[in-house]
């Protein structure tokens, strides 16, 4: 990974010291004009969020959303690049002061979920997904991400002369995954040169989560979200009449033993201080009650938070499945395709940003546990020092146990959190400016 920086050299490269004076977190927090600017964009941010929420689009199909974004960035006077990774949009703001290039990212895609929130701007969109008629909903909060980043772009474009360096506003498609047979997301944006001209010195992203209350900003140094890989296991036995199992090799029985054994790997074979997960989500095999089939397919996911553990974990999964198959006379194949790497927060950048974000009015910075969910911002974080943090969006009067999680048809965003997210993006950029 490309993280070989001296602490002093790194912060100089990011322009934290310009013209012999570093702007302090206190100076940024005391900016009354910035408070007013954030307040002035709150209504547009909410309007953008509600419009995008009512018109969700799946990955690689974010045509309308990309149009809304491109039009807004153009009206702000930014250089706008479209068509990156099919529907991705990048706005380029060249500031009036010397400084680094900073990338701010928001994801745009929705999920095949039928909304059940009852909101007046709830989605009624339907589409075909994997051959099925499904509802489409921003059940993960990407509508809020887009709106907050547009709000930050508007504030910063209005203060262009005070902005240090260059800001890339990256609006990414297909974070939830591209359709079958297609490529997409952060990895494809990088392949198509999103970080080539100019290359960022740092990248920032956030994700709204109901696990934290509105006003809470959760930041963790190092591995903050898991690396994720799809797991595909094929168990081939020998078909026979179910009344005479000894005449065949039962792949259902073998697959059952594999599933149970895989669950024991994280708890009994891996370092418990570094979370790992192996879960099976699909078991397919058989067509009739009295026939033992030839083959069973298992599909699942592997999650890890330490890149050094990954290869060992993969080897144990393969060995366990294959050896169980051999013990019963079955043939077992294990495939673990490339997936998402660990989302890694640069330690130096994280600690510096923690003190900055703690100055935001109405916000409090907390240290969360690592999350075993995955995020393709991780591909950006492999290229440049990065910070990915969580923004609480649970209304204060709602108990954590009653808050619907991300990806739920009941998922809600407390819109009072939106200006805090805008302020977070703006603060991370403006803090690097020279004293005025």
355 and 278 in a single domain? The answer is: no
- DSSP single-letter state for residue 247: G
186 and 243 in a single domain? The answer is: no
233 and 203 in a single domain? The answer is: no
Flag whether 371 is in a domain. Answer: yes
Flag whether 3 is in a domain. Answer: no
Residue where a domain terminates, one of 335, 353, 373: 335
Q: Any catalytic annotation for residue 129?
A: no
247 and 380 in a single domain? The answer is: no
Residue where a domain terminates, one of 335, 353, 380: 335
Query: Is residue 126 scored above 70 in pLDDT?
Result: yes
Minimal CA–CA distance to 406: which of 225, 142, 223, 65? 142
Residue where a domain terminates, one of 298, 315, 335: 335
Q: How far apart are CA 345 and CA 368, in angstroms?
A: 13
273 and 163 in a single domain? The answer is: no
- Write the CATH number for 278: 3.30.70.360
69 and 176 in a single domain? The answer is: yes
Q: Specify the pTM.
A: 0.88
Give the H/E segment covering residue 73. helix 63-75
154 and 21 in a single domain? The answer is: yes
* 432 vs 317 pLDDT, higher one: 317
What integer pLDDT is reported at residue 433 of this predicted model?
54
Containing domain of residue 152, as a range? 8-222+342-430
What integer pLDDT is reported at residue 33 of this predicted model?
86
Asked if 156 contacts 426 with a C-beta cutoff of 8 angstroms, the reply is: yes
CA atoms within 13 A on the CB side of 153: 34
What integer pLDDT is reported at residue 245 of this predicted model?
97
Residues 57-73: pLDDT tens digits? 999 999 999 999 999 99
Q: How far apart are CA 296 and CA 332, in angstroms?
A: 10
Query: Is residue 435 scored above 50 in pLDDT?
Result: no
28 and 95 in a single domain? The answer is: yes
Distance, C-alpha 429 to centroid of its chain: 21
Q: Any catalytic annotation for residue 10?
A: no
Token pair in block for residue 409: 């048809």
Give the total number of structural domains in the chain.
Answer: 2
200 and 72 in a single domain? The answer is: yes
Flag whether 284 is in a domain. Answer: yes
DSSP string, 334-365: EE----BPPEEE-HHHHHHHHHHHTTSTT-EE
363 and 291 in a single domain? The answer is: no
118 and 60 in a single domain? The answer is: yes
90 and 192 in a single domain? The answer is: yes
Query: What's the whole-number mean pLDDT along residues 11-25?
Result: 40
Q: How far apart are CA 418 and CA 397, in angstroms?
A: 17
Catalytic residue among 340, 344, 388, 431: 340
- Write the CATH number for 366: 3.40.630.10
Flag whether 2 is in a domain. Answer: no
Flag whether 241 is in a domain. Answer: yes
Residues 233-272: pLDDT tens digits? 999 999 999 999 999 999 999 999 999 999 999 999 999 8
């Amino acid at each position: 990974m490309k993280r070989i920086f001296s602490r002093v050299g790194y912060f100089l490269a990011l322009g934290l010291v310009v013209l012999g004076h570093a702007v302090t977190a206190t100076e940024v927090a005391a900016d009354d004009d910035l408070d007013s600017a954030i307040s002035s964009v709150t209504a547009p941010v909410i309007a953008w969020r509600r419009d995008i929420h009512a018109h969700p689009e799946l990955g690689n199909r974010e045509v309308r959303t990309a149009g809304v974004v491109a039009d807004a960035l153009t009206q702000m006077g930014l250089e706008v690049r479209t068509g990156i990774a099919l529907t991705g949009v990048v706005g380029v703001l060249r500031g009036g002061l010397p400084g680094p290039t900073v990338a701010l990212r928001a994801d745009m895609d929705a999920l095949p979920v039928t909304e059940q929130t009852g909101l007046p701007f709830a989605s009624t969109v339907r589409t075909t997904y994997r051959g099925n008629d499904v509802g489409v909903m921003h059940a993960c909060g990407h509508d809020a991400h887009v709106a907050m980043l547009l709000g930050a772009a508007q504030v910063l474009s209005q203060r262009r002369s005070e902005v240090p360096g260059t800001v890339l506003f990256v609006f990414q498609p297909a974070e939830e995954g591209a359709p079958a047979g297609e490529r997409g997301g952060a990895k494809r944006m990088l392949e198509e040169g999103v970080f080539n001209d100019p290359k960022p010195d740092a990248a920032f992203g956030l994700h709204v989560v109901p696990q934290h209350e509105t006003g809470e900003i959760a930041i963790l140094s190092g591995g903050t979200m898991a690396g994720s890989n799809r797991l595909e296991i094929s168990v081939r036995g020998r078909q026979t009449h179910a009344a005479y199992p000894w005449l065949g090799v039962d792949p259902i029985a073998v697959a059952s033993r594999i599933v149970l054994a895989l669950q024991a790997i994280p708890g009994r074979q891996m370092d418990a201080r570094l979370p790992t997960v192996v879960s099976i989500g699909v078991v397919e095999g058989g067509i009739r009650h009295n026939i033992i089939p030839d083959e069973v397919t298992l599909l699942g996911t592997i999650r890890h938070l330490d890149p050094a553990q990954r290869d060992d974990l993969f080897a144990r999964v393969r060995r366990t499945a294959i050896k169980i198959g051999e013990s019963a006379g079955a043939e077992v194949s294990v495939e673990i395709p490339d997936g998402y790497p660990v989302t890694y927060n640069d330690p130096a950048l994280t600690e510096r940003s923690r003190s900055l974000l703690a100055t935001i009015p109405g916000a409090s910075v907390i240290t969360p546990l690592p999350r075993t969910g995955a995020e393709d911002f991780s591909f950006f974080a492999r290229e440049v020092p990065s910070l990915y943090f969580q923004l609480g969006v649970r209304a204060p009067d709602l108990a954590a146990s009653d808050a619907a999680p991300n990806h739920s048809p009941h998922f809600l965003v407390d819109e009072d959190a939106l200006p805090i997210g805008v302020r977070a993006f703006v603060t991370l950029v403006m803090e690097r400016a020279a004293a005025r």
